[in-house]
Amino acid sequence: MALAVMCSGGDAPGMNAAVKKFVDYAFDKGEEPYLVFDGLEGLIDGKIKKAEHKDVAGILHRGGSIIRSSRSKRFFEYTYRQQAYENLKKYNINGLVVLGGDGSFRAMDRFSEDFPINFVGIPTTIDNDIYGTEYCLGVDTALNTIRDALDKIYDTASTFNRAFVVEVMGRECGYLAAISAISSGAEICLIPEVDFVLPTIEEKLLREIENGRRYVLAIVAEGTKMTGEVAKWLENRIGMDTRVTILGHIQRGGVPTTFDRMMGFEFTVHAIDHLCRSKEMNKVVVWNKGEFGLLDIDTVVSNKNQVNPHHLAMLNVLD
């Protein structure tokens, strides 16, 4: 069997671990591994190469993806999907492992409606917003990157009588912001899933400042679009000199943690095992309660992920 791997959408730490395991494990299983470069765009343009062990040697410690990634508007046109399918047929590829997020899975779902392609998705996004899985590849590294930045910001915040507003990624999901706020001891956390109760927090902060608080850390999820508003509120209502830090794309990069390397291995092994053993098509590997499983792509893309209520309850600053 000829199998291919590709990355799609935003990059995430751990992609290279998954790509390496894909090549090594495919060879172990007696299958022919192929690499698709540049994601969906590369699939359309036929950037497909038969893999060798040397292609993935020494890549575990690297962030990003050696086979690169892309987002593609062309892929949503039937002509280009057909072109992509013909490229796979040219190499007799009958199984595809896709490292990506919600948008990538929707694209593959559309692809599979038009052509008999069997794929398995590996949830790979620092946003951790894929339905049906507690964990997506890259999240642990991103959280550690945010933690490191917040620890440094705390150093300077505690030196001055100052507030810091830190915006983190996550699109419409507040997972990164929530976990970062809990683990850093932030005083304020704004996420799309919870209403920001301004009067309650204002009263609490003013009381704490009167009792000696010298600094404030606010974590804001990008999906709230309230970073600037929170900064103005801290300046005008709380009366603190305020600085804004937007962490941006540093959250996507960096050396993957041990956990993300191991999860990259495990996700990939389950994906290849399914392609080799089962006739059921178009699945997503998921991880829940410490165990791996598979969900139909239709189930994944037709439902919306929710932040764990237990984590929401731990954000007592929002009470």
Asked whether the beta carbons of 256 and 12 are under 8 A apart, the reply is: no
Token digits of residue 309: 């209520």
Strand 162-168: give its sheet, edge to edge.
188-190, 216-221, 162-168, 241-246
11 is catalytic: no
Residue 296, judged by CB atoms within 10 A of its CB (0-12, 13-18, 19+), counts as middle
- What are residue 137's phi and psi, to 5 degrees? -60, 135
Asked whether the beta carbons of 140 and 258 are under 8 A apart, the reply is: no
- What is the C-alpha separation between 116 and 133, in angstroms, rounded? 26
Start-to-end Cα distance in the chain: 55
Token digits of residue 63: 């962030």
158-180 exposure pattern, b = at least 16 Cβ within 10 A, e = fewer: eeeebbbbbbbbbbbbbbbbbbb
Give the position of tokens 């490191």.
Answer: 148
Asked whether the beta carbons of 167 and 205 are under 8 A apart, the reply is: no
Catalytically annotated residue among 127, 129, 140, 260: 127
- What are residue 84's phi and psi, to 5 degrees? -65, -45
Q: Beta strands of the chain (E only): which ranges?
A: 2-7, 32-36, 48-50, 93-100, 119-123, 162-168, 188-190, 216-221, 241-246, 283-288, 291-296
Token digits of residue 125: 């996004």
Positions marked catalytic: 127
